[in-house]
Amino acid sequence: MGGHVTGAVTALASELPDWAALLRAPNPGPMTLDGTNTWLLRAGPGEPAVVVDPGPADEAHLAAIVAQGPVGLVLITHGHPDHTEGSARLHDLLDGAAVLAADPAHTIGGEPLTGPGQDLSGFGLEIRLLATPGHTADSVCFLAERAGQRVVLTGDTILGRGTTVVAHPDGHLGDYLASLELLSTYRGTPALPGHGPALAECGAAADFYLAHRRARLDQVRTALDAGARTAAEVVAAVYADVDRSLWWAAEWSVRAQLEYLGRESDGGDARLDPA
């Protein structure tokens, strides 16, 4: 979610490795920022590319991915529709290239991703799975390396601009904080996020997110001590700096915060729209 902090959380990447390229989907919005980032990793000319997050079922966007072929593998950071809706169609357009996700529901033509450290290397690229639940239960990141250069593809766990929601009840704040601790160890490694611009250092971005989350938890405690009794009342007190049109999404994070603090939450869902 991009409503909490409007700017980049750390320095932008001045340049990326020549084996990483961005195709941005035409689905801008308050939750997707400039649109969903589809990343293409290619070791060299003629090598099959690895695609990370196909994005929405937009024919022009999917055609742009296909035009960058050959493509050998498609990876998914998490199952939200703005990252996965185009997966089945892209699988067909690519003549059956496997689509691998942590959630079997989003895996096509292969086996689901299995866990931390899974080796996904191939096509001249070294790729390792980082298990980073929290934004959603199935959220993962990918550490990719080629010729001594590394990047972390962070999905929605770290955005290029603003902060993300913890999509309660599927997302879990304790898991999210642990995932940020893991990502904070990747010093000097650019972050290629699911939305927004690439960041110069994954570790610094994770540090910012951790500080932001801890500050929000303090604000939630203060709101509760002042008499807030429902998630909506906490949102009104703590997220007054956020556009009211996004309070429905802020309420996801508040429910996750209340759960983390051992306070009652009255449920909620993890959809990407307020309907």
Give the model confidence (pLDDT) of 95-147 as tens digits.
999 999 999 999 999 999 998 999 999 999 999 999 999 999 999 999 999 99
At 239, the amino acid letter reads Y
Q: Which helix (H) or strand (E) element contains residue 130?
A: strand 126-131
DSSP lists the bridge partners of residue 122 as 125
CA distances from 212 to 40, 57, 165, 180, 242 (A): 30, 33, 12, 11, 14
β-strands 149-155, 140-146: how paired? antiparallel
Q: What is the mean pLDDT of residues 233-247?
A: 92
CA distances from 36 to 127, 178, 210, 241, 255 (A): 21, 25, 23, 25, 25
**pLDDT at residue 5, rounded to an integer:** 45
Q: What is the mean pLDDT of residues 65-77?
A: 97
Quick one: which of 113, 108, 111 has its CA closest to 91?
108
Residue 74 CA to residue 99 CA, distance in Å, equals 5
**pLDDT at residue 195, rounded to an integer:** 97
Average pLDDT, the chain: 92
Beta carbons of 137 and 72 less than 8 angstroms apart: no
CB neighbourhood size of 83 (10 A):
28
CB neighbourhood size of 225 (10 A):
8
Q: What is the mean pLDDT of residues 149-159?
A: 98
With a pLDDT cut of 70, the percent of the chain lying above it is 93
**pLDDT at residue 275, rounded to an integer:** 33
Strand order in the sheet with 191-193: 126-131, 140-146, 149-155, 191-193
Contacts of 57 (CB under 8 A, 6+ apart): 85, 86, 89
**pLDDT at residue 6, rounded to an integer:** 54
Phi first, then psi, for residue 155 (nearest 5°) are 55, -130
pLDDT level of residue 263 (50, 70, 90 thresholds) = confident
CA distances from 96 to 22, 66, 195 (A): 22, 12, 27
Point out the least confidently predicted range of 30-34, 47-51, 211-215, 262-266: 262-266
pLDDT level of residue 59 (50, 70, 90 thresholds) = very high
Per DSSP, helices labelled H in 16-112 are: 59-67, 81-84, 87-93
Axis crossing angle, helix 202-225 with helix 173-183, rounded to the nearest 10:
150
CB neighbourhood size of 44 (10 A):
12
**pLDDT at residue 242, rounded to an integer:** 86
pLDDT level of residue 1 (50, 70, 90 thresholds) = very low
